[in-house]
Structures are given as structure tokens and as C-alpha cells.
Structure 1
């Protein structure tokens, strides 16, 4: 550009469209997100806008209410175009008599907030670009405003939730994180009555920190123990200490708060997302499973120490080098110790068989983890007498 000339700073149509959301976002009450989206979609030439949020059981996509938004019945994730968009995190276009119905994923850091749907007369690349950027803004808005209101919680809750489950859900990070080098996806079952299971993760620079825990018992006592264990883990992790020291800190916290007869099984990992080197300690927890080339390669059996709270010896830190595309599946004992209708324990081999079957689909980590949880529940005859939690980590290299 010649010296002295200024770039054109006049507002284009696209900037004005997205700017309407940005200009309103700061002081926008949560219940007005829907009307704002509807107004922006109308300016784009769209009709019948919907914002669909996933329910806590990850079975349905439920319409967000709001003036200008289209309501209707929830969409079943496994049997709908909106569900396909949600599971694969890609736009889905469907030709209809009155135009094209476009479904766009609402993504925030790789976590799937839900789906935005709109009908247009026709769709070109400019429409796709604007809808993609609009969906990003809407997803960020939903995540930001979630902490200010019970509106979104009420939409996503499809049945009564126990107090223990309320506590556990408030502890959780987003259920999924998809980044260029690493991906994480987790799921809790039973979603509305989970008690002692929980997990946590954090990506600090190039190191992914992961923890999975299972507090003894069920209900409020287990939820309280899980809260202390996760709080202690976060505190120790943020202090920058090693895995063995993190275990010791968690162990003291649980023992001091609940006494010698209470415990929490735990597994803590650190993955270098640059090299693929993973370190972990196991405190009485089922060993994780390594998935390579879409099949279970091995159980990561390693030395363990006593569960958190029982004053075990210093844990041995185990180490493994991952290959690009490797997935590590962590799970709680409720996944494999449930008894089927015939009286036999579900068992680890059935878990491995289910993993191998679903991995052949080649789907992303979030869709596989969700499908695995639901498949396992069906294979157990729909029974979940104990918490059954899955957490999968993928090193993308």
C-alpha cells in the first residue's frame, strides 16, 4: 500500500452482521441470546433458526427457547441430521422444499456445545463462511453466559438430577477438548445420578495433565470426597509439583478430611504433547488401555500404590512413548464390575471387544467415547448400579 494511504475501514455486510453480536455480548442477558441469534439469522436471509443444546445424557439435542427461535421436539442424536453434525463436528446441509436446511456445530475449544440450524433459499461459500463464524460467536456466548444463569442447565436436564450429581457436574471441565496436538473426551454415567466418579484435565503449555478418580461409596458422601480429591489435585498441579508429590498431597487432604477408612482410587497422567511421552501414577485404579491403529494394543499394567487417603507408599511413576494417533482410555471400575442379567461380571474383555468394534468406525475421539459409553450400558442390559466413567486421550502429534 502506498505511503500515506489508509486501508478501507468501512463496515462490510459480514462485519456488520457479526458485529451486532460482538457489540451486544458484553451486557446481553442470557435469555436474550436466542432473540439476538434469530435477528442476525434474519438479516442473513435465513428462516427457522434453532439453537440445539445437548442433554446431560448425550442422547438428545434440545431446542433453546427464545423469541424468534424455532422450538419443537428434541432431536435424537443417533438418528438425525442435527445429530450427525453434532457427532462429527462438521456442517450438514439438507435440501428441502423451501430451501436448504443448514446445521452448523457450535464449537468452543473443540467441546461440542450443540448445533445451530437455519434454512436458507440457497447456500454458497459466503453463506458457509458467515455461518461458521456466527456459530463460533454463538458458542462462545453460550459458554460465557452459562455461569450467569440456570437457563441452559434447565434446557439440558431431561430428568431429575440428584444433589450428588449436581455437585459432580459443577466440578467437571468441558467434556471434550480438541486441539492440534492432543484431544480429550470424557463421559459420566449415570448422568443424572453420578456420585463418586470425576475427572479433570488441563493443557499447560505443551503438557496435558489428566486425572481420573473414583471415591468410595455413592451419593453425597462420595461426591464430597470427590470434591476434596479433585480440589487437592488442582491445587497440587497448579503448584507445579511432580506426579508422586501430587499423589501425596491428595492423600493427605482426603485422610485429614474423612479419616482412615475412606479412600479414593485415582490415576494421574502427564502427556508431553510435543514428544508423545506420557508419565502416570496409579493409586488402586483399573489400568488404562492403549489403543493403536484402531485396536486395543495392551493394558497399561504398572506398579500401583494404595488409593488416595490410605497413606500408601510413594508411587512409582510409569512411562510410555506414544505413537501419533494413539489413544489412551481410562475408566472406573463401574464399567467392568457391573453384573449382567445372567449374573456374570461384565469384565474387561467385553470392554476391549466394544472398543475394537467402535474404533473400526474411524470416528473422532468425542463420538467414539460417547458411543462406547452408550454401547457398554446396553451390553450390561441397561444397568448402571455404580458410576461408570470413561476418559479418552488422543495424541495427535
Structure 2
């Protein structure tokens, strides 16, 4: 023991519990058995310990337009806040804490990040803020995000808060099928968006990072409603099954093709694009099954289409597909999309088309840099350009390869 009574081990490392560890430790110790509805009052109590008040938890809605307040005991529940032009939205999109002076106090907006997926924002008011407050509240927000994601698996509370309009059964199926809408590590970042959020049926995307290999797929099942959602579910399930069995891309197509054909017959199909990216080298490989070719973005502009040999859509029994390959440069982005994005018609009847998609993509890229912000802005701008309506599913998936490594994250400073 030292003269202050704090325990020190044999190599001189202080292992006693300080204020910050106690504060965060309460959440960690209770998280495994805490009912979802008790997250709010405990978080409010934790914030009060550092002199905070007026705690709000704002979750992203399914259209990625609003941050909607989570109701709960001891939470401040106001109106929704815009993702696009509010302090909460700024914190959400930038993944950084935003501080707004107000009436002699400070309102802090802290991003809720589960890994790198953006869940929403936690807002807190303090009389004054120092670096210790910033550190503790940032870490508290991280724990809150993890708890929301964990508890979301067995409660409807968060789903109901995020839903700002009635949702079709097909859309509920699709949303339950999706991976997180975004993922970021030092070498690569991905983000996706589905439209119409509350009525999507046949579009979906999937990805998985296994070691140095990022697996990606985008699909578009024919038709609308439950039939399309069911077909998309089988296609994604078959894709995941073969991916997890370390199957090469051409055989992934064959397995998906057989699954769709056997389940739905020869008159049903799914267009698909399956890709693998080595995040250490930038080597990209892909197979195209009747899907629109993705755009290559370099230096914040579309510079190419990834044209490649294509086989028949999944379900039609096409020949073994050709696996195409390309080496990416650090900073390159791939924009994948479904045909609903380019086959939609303007109010006057003209088809939207790839040329306008390129034009709008370049316009958005001039104003925005972050991958997630680009995806949101592009999807919403295109929907507005089409008159605010979408008669077909319209999905965007964007990936940025950066190169390098993440070894520094595995060391303790």
C-alpha cells in the first residue's frame, strides 16, 4: 500500500478504481441483466454524477432524415432534430462531439457509435465543460451505443422510436436482414442506404470483414412486396452460406442460382453483384449477374464504370461467371447501386439514367467528403430530383479503400 492507501502491484502499476472507472463500471457490471427500459434512468444518473442534466438520446430514423428522441424515464424528450442542419446532426454525421453554448451553460452532442456504425446522438447539458468531462462522456456514449445495439435484439423499443411512418411487412423483413448501414476501420469504410425506407422489398446489400478480406454483395430481387422480400432473403442467405464456407466467387453465384431456381422456379430471378476486396493491397475481384456496373470514384469524381463480362441473373441458370479484377489506389471509392436509381422517371416522363447519376454524384462529392454523408446526400438529392417519389427500390452502397494497416490499435500507449 502507498501512503494514500492506494494499491500498487509489484511493478508499480496503480490498479485501484478511480472515479471514471467507477462511473463506467456501473454500466458494464449491470449491462448483461439490465432491462432495456432501465438504460435511460441509469444513464441520466451517470450523467448527473459529472454535473450533467437534460439527457436526451436521439436515434437515427429509417429514412436517415431525422434524429428522433427515445422516450424514457428521466430523459428529456423534445421534437425530432434534422440530420442535415442541426448540432445533433453535425455530431452524428461527423462522428465528433459538438458543443453549443446556451444561456450560460453548454449543450453537448455526443455521437453514439457501435463500433463505427452511427446509432444516433446523446445530448447532455453542463454548466461548464473540461477535458475530463469530454473524455468521460465520450466513453459513456460509447457504452450507451453498445447497450442499445445489444438490447435491440430482444426489444421493439428502439425500432418503434426510429420508425417515423408505417412500415410494410416486406420492409420489416429487409431491415432485419441488413448488416449495419456503415462500417469504418482505418483501411476501409462502407455505407449504404435503402429507398423507400418504409416500403423497400427486393433490394438488399451485405458485407463481412474476414481478416484482410472484405466481402460485399448487392442484390435486386424481381417484383415487389412479400414475394421480392422472400426472394431477397433466400439470395442473401445463400450468399452468406457460401461466403462462410470460403467458396470462390464463381461458385458463390452457382449456389445462389440453384437456391433461387429450386425455391421459386425458372420465372423468378435476382440480379446480383458479389465482390471481394483485399484491404491490404487494394485488389478487387467481382462477379456480375445482370446488375448495373458500379462507378469508380477517384479524386472526388466519377472516372470510370467497372465494366465486366456478365452472366445471367441469379435463378436463370447462367454459365459460370468470369471473375473480373482491378487494383485500386488508396482513396478510391466504388459506388454500387440498383437499377431503381437510374430507371426511375422524372415527373415529365424522362428516365433518370446513368448520365444524370454521374452528374449528381460529382455534384455531391464537391460538397461532401465523408462516406456516410455522401451516401445520404446522394440518395436524398436523387429522390428530390425525381419529385420526392420512388416507384421502385433504389439502393446505394459506397465503399472507400484507404490502404495502410490498423496495427496501432492493438497496442496500449
Could you state the TM-score of these two structures normalised by the residue count of structure 1? 0.98
Give the secondary-structure state (helix, strand or coil) at the position aligned to 1:286: coil
Tell me, in whole angstroms, the C-alpha distance in 1 between the residues paired with 2:353 and 2:12. 69
Moved more, 21-30 or 361-370: 361-370
Asked whether the 8 Å contact 1:88–1:363 carries over to 2, the reply is no
Asked whether the 8 Å contact 1:185–1:391 carries over to 2, the reply is yes
* 1:87-126 → structure 2 map (5 Å cutoff): 87-126=93-132
Q: What do residues 221-272 of structure 1 show as CA deviations (whole Å, max 9, x unaligned)? A: 0000000000000000000010000000000000000000000000000000
Match of 2:54 among 48, 61, 67: 48
Give the secondary-structure state (helix, strand or coil) at the position aligned to 1:165: helix
Determine whether 1:63 maps to 2:69.
yes
Correspondence for 1:304: 310
Correspondence for 2:39: 33
Q: What do residues 154-210 of structure 1 show as CA deviations (whole Å, max 9, x unaligned)? A: 000011000000100010000000111111100000000001000000000000000
Q: What do residues 31-71 of structure 1 show as CA deviations (whole Å, max 9, x unaligned)? A: 11111111100111001011110000111101111111100
Correspondence for 2:409: none
Tell me, in whole angstroms, the C-alpha distance in 2 between the residues paired with 1:7 and 1:337. 64
Correspondence for 1:83: 89
Determine whether 1:204 maps to 2:203.
no
Asked whether the 8 Å contact 1:294–1:362 carries over to 2, the reply is no
Determine whether 1:132 maps to 2:138.
yes
Determine whether 1:226 maps to 2:232.
yes
Determine whether 1:289 maps to 2:295.
yes
User: Shift in Å at residue 5 of structure 1?
Assistant: 5.9
Correspondence for 2:325: 319
Tell me, in whole angstroms, the C-alpha distance in 2 between the residues paired with 1:204 and 1:352. 32
Correspondence for 1:246: 252
Q: What do residues 99-144 of structure 1 show as CA deviations (whole Å, max 9, x unaligned)? A: 1111010111211000011011111111111111111111111111
User: Shift in Å at residue 335 of structure 1?
Assistant: 0.2
Moved over 2 A (4+): 1-10
Determine whether 1:354 maps to 2:365.
no
Gaps of 5+ in 1: none
Determine whether 1:236 maps to 2:223.
no
Q: What is the CA RMSD across the aligned residues, in angstroms?
A: 1.2
Could you state the TM-score of these two structures normalised by the residue count of structure 2? 0.95
Asked whether the 8 Å contact 2:221–2:228 carries over to 1, the reply is yes
Correspondence for 1:329: 335
Asked whether the 8 Å contact 2:113–2:142 carries over to 1, the reply is yes
Determine whether 1:382 maps to 2:399.
no
* 1:179-190 → structure 2 map (5 Å cutoff): 179-190=185-196
Asked whether the 8 Å contact 2:9–2:15 carries over to 1, the reply is no
Correspondence for 1:144: 150
Determine whether 1:173 maps to 2:179.
yes
Determine whether 1:371 maps to 2:377.
yes
User: Shift in Å at residue 3 of structure 1?
Assistant: 8.4
Matched pairs, number: 397
